[in-house]
């Protein structure tokens, strides 16, 4: 992922330097287990512990010749070890995947914890925003068309619960990726004792794979990246709502616009929804990683490396991009400007058409036949309002008179109030207030 969208903490998780630090940690723990079992001399472990992790540059120089990253790492680390002979016991009984999959599990857990911290913060921001607007009337829309009265807090509450569920999926996926294996070539423990695997797992807070055929099968990692993709798409849904709300014809919502900010190089009046549009674009990148990672589940026999090149790109990119998206959505919703007066004006802009469903039911309750009288009457009046711009109640009165139908205007006065439509949302807001 390019630096523009990489936040420092997540960038460090996926840095080459940190990867080699983790590789040293895993290899050192394996040596500890061997020393405890009497397989490796203790003085070798002491020398290896003192050796600093190799630099990415040193590993890259050797890999240019060996064309094998683990061998290059081991050689570069051996160059830092005094005496160098002690490095002979590093990687003892292991195969490359033992190191790669175990260290990758650590990176995935670290990345997940950063994502979960931001997801918790976003749930709180959305919860508070929705509760603050539990009485902010607006028009609800279906198919982009005005439907019935609603409140802005209702829409945001939906997002809050969706983000919370997405966070919980990521939390579940954390366990799915916190899995390691140190079982040797083809996973038969032919040259390494299973006790070594258990020791390392306990020290690192990971779970040994239930079975490993040299690599940990990628269903858990696929679950993780799919959980990230769902969260990214929920964040895009929030962004889409803001983008619509900031349209000139709507003007109900405004992204934060800082002092000195410019909206267009050509048109000084522009305040564009750039944060929301950026979220929409980056969500595509997170979703795009799901299929390539899942295609790493089927490998040839006990192991191949067709998954490796994909994961070097897909796993860092998915988590770095989502980390950025979560941070950006927190900023967006923390500074979102809600124009309650414009929301009210838009709600009233169709001359009462948003009450047609209620009028229809009320007419049926007055004794009119739904199919033969109430629905045709309501629809004819609504279409006349669309065409002329005259108030719906006025066109309804005319159409009823023309059809010889009597309606009780006072009853319609009672039901055609926007507050009536949101009167039963208190239970939902109570549940939202308890959301953590």
348 vs 153: CA distance, rounded Å: 19
Q: What is the pLDDT of residue 240?
A: 98
Over residues 31-41, the pLDDT tens digits come to: 999 999 999 99
**% of the chain beyond a pLDDT of 90:** 91
Helix (H), strand (E), coil (C) string for 337-370 = EECHHHHHHHHHCCCCHHHHHHHHHHHHHCCCCH
pLDDT tens digits, 262-298: 777 777 777 889 999 999 999 999 999 999 999 999 9
The residue to which tokens 């589940």 are assigned: 297
Give burial (CB, 10 Å; 0-12/13-18/19+) of 146. middle
Query: Could you list the active site residues?
Result: 143, 264
pLDDT tens digits along 183-232: 999 999 999 999 999 999 999 999 999 998 989 999 999 999 999 999 99
Rounded to whole angstroms, the Cα distance separating 370 from 364 reads: 6
Contact (CB, 8 A) for 65 and 37: no
Its pTM surpasses 0.85: yes
Report the chain's mean pLDDT, rounded to a whole number: 95
| Tokens matching residue 343 | 């929301």
Tokens at 6, concatenated: 């990489």
Give the mean pLDDT of 52-76: 97
Q: Which two tokens stand for residue 372?
A: 């033969």
Which position has the higher pLDDT, 409 or 105?
105
Spatial CA neighbour of 323 closest among 15, 107, 115: 115
Alpha helices in 267-339 (DSSP H): 274-288, 290-294, 306-334
Domains of the chain (ranges; CATH) run 3-89 (1.10.275.10), 100-346 (1.20.200.10), 353-415 (1.10.40.30)
What is d(CA 37, CA 312) in angstroms, rounded to the nearest whole number?
35
Q: Strands 137-142 and 145-151: what pairing?
A: antiparallel
Beta-carbon contacts of 71 under 8 Å, excluding residues fewer than 6 positions away, are 62, 63
pLDDT at 270: 74
Tell me the per-residue pLDDT of 162-192, one tens digit each, with 9 for 90 and over. Answer: 999 999 999 999 999 999 999 999 999 999 9
pLDDT at residue 111 greater than cutoff 80: yes
Nearest to 337 by CA among 246, 225, 217: 246
Helix axes 152-177, 219-245, angle to 10 degrees: 160
Least confident of 68-82, 133-147, 248-262, 348-362: 248-262
Task: Give 208's strand partners.
Answer: 180
Query: How far does CA 206 lie from the centroid of its chain?
Result: 24
CA distance 25 to 182: 14
Instruction: Please tell me the predicted confidence (pLDDT) of residue 267.
Output: 78
d(CA 205, CA 75): 28
């Amino acid at each position: 992922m390019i630096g523009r969208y990489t936040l420092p903490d997540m960038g460090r998780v996926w840095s080459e330097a940190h990867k080699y630090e983790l590789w040293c940690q895993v290899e050192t723990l394996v040596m500890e287990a061997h020393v405890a079992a009497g397989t490796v001399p203790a003085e070798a472990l002491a020398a290896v512990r003192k050796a600093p992790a190799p630099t990415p540059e040193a590993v890259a120089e050797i890999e240019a010749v060996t064309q094998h990253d683990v061998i290059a790492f081991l050689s570069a680390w051996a160059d830092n070890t005094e005496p160098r002979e002690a490095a002979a016991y590093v990687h003892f009984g292991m195969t490359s995947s033992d190191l790669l999959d175990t260290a990758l599990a650590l990176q995935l857990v670290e990345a997940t914890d950063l994502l979960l911290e931001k997801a918790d913060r976003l749930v709180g921001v959305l919860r508070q925003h929705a509760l603050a607007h539990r009485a902010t009337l607006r028009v609800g829309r279906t198919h982009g068309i005005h439907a019935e009265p609603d409140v802005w807090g209702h829409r945001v509450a939906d997002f809050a619960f969706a983000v919370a569920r997405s966070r919980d999926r990521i939390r579940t996926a954390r366990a799915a990726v916190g899995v390691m294996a140190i079982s040797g070539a083809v996973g038969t423990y032919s040259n390494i004792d299973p006790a070594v695997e258990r020791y390392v797992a306990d020290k690192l807070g990971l779970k040994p794979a239930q079975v490993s055929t040299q690599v940990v099968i990628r269903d858990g990692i696929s679950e993780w990246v799919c959980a990230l993709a769902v969260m990214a798409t929920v964040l895009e849904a929030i962004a889409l709502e803001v983008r619509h709300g900031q349209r000139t014809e709507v003007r109900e919502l405004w992204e934060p616009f800082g002092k000195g900010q410019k909206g267009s190089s050509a048109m000084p009046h522009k305040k564009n929804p750039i944060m929301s549009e950026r979220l929409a674009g980056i969500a595509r990148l997170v979703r795009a990683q799901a299929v390539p990672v899942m295609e790493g589940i089927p490998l040839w026999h006990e192991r191949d490396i067709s998954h490796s090149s994909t994961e070097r790109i897909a796993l860092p990119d998915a988590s770095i991009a989502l980390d950025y998206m979560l941070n950006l959505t927190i900023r967006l919703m923390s500074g979102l400007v809600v124009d309650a007066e414009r929301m009210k004006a838009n709600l009233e802009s169709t001359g009462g058409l948003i009450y047609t469903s209620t009028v229809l039911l009320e007419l049926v309750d007055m004794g009119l036949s739904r199919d033969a009288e109430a629905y045709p009457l309501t629809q004819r009046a609504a279409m006349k309002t669309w065409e002329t711009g005259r108030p719906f109640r006025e066109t309804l009165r005319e159409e009823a008179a023309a059809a010889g139908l009597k309606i009780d205007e006072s009853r319609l006065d009672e039901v055609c109030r926007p507050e009536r439509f949101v009167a039963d949302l208190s239970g939902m807001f109570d549940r939202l207030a308890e959301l953590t």
